[in-house]
Amino acid sequence: MRRATSKRRRPPRAALAGIRLLVLDCDGVLTDGSFVCDPEGRRSLAFNIRDGLGLAVLCRAGVVVAIVSGQPTEVAEARHRELGIEHFVGQCRDKGAAVRALQAELGVEPGSCAFVGDDVVDLAGFRACGLAIAVADAAPEVRAAADWVTTAPGGHGAVREVCEALLGARGVWARVVGKLGGDAGPPAP
């Protein structure tokens, strides 16, 4: 899909509507890139609650979401399984190979797959997908290689921005806002 238009603009609605698999890096995309270790070496990560709602709705809308990280994914799994995410690849050294394996396992063509990344290790994931998305504060090389650069930085709404765009392209987001913003009450977690 690599287009010559402004990388800050969302891709065309038809391209977004065709995405069946959304692959996310964790650190720097779902988080702001920082983490805390306690004296025993246990990691702690902070996730954006609005990103979580976007991901939960996206999963319910039938888009498969996967997290592929160079780090262990136990902390991310503990948070994201409750949202409907079932695919996690941790301690990944070749994100392109991981994405291709997910595509084969799920029967998804590269053109129907998007990857959201923030650092140079994510470039291989970009090359395996039809839509490469960089968060606003991604490394310069990643922003240059992306089809779309979000307006929000990683860990601060970038994933929600992507979810809203994908759901909007399917005509789902307006219904979600109407339902959740009305008297229907919140959805089940």
**2 located within any domain:** no
Per-residue pLDDT, averaged over 140-162, amounts to 97
In this structure, what CATH number is given to the domain that contains residue 71?
3.40.50.1000
Residue 117 scores a pLDDT above 50: yes
- Annotate 49-72 with b (16+ C-beta within 10 A) or e (fewer): ebbbbbbbbbbebebbbbbbbbbe
Report the mean per-residue pLDDT for the chain: 90
% of the chain surpassing 90 pLDDT: 70
Residue 1 lies in a domain: no
In a domain, 161, yes or no: yes
Angle between the 158-169 and 173-181 helix axes, to the nearest 10 degrees? Answer: 110
Residue 34: inside a domain, yes or no? yes
Residue 119 lies in a domain: yes
pLDDT (0 to 100) of residue 4: 40
The answer to whether the CB of 4 falls within 8 A of the CB of 160 is no
Count of domains observed in the chain: 1
Range of the domain at 101: 13-181
Three-state SS for 8-21 is CCCCCHHHHHCCCE
Domain membership flag for residue 55 = yes
Looking only at the bridges linking them, the beta strands covering 131-134 and 36-37 are unpaired
Q: What is the pLDDT of residue 44?
A: 83
- Tokens at residue 70, please? 């160079």
186: in domain = no
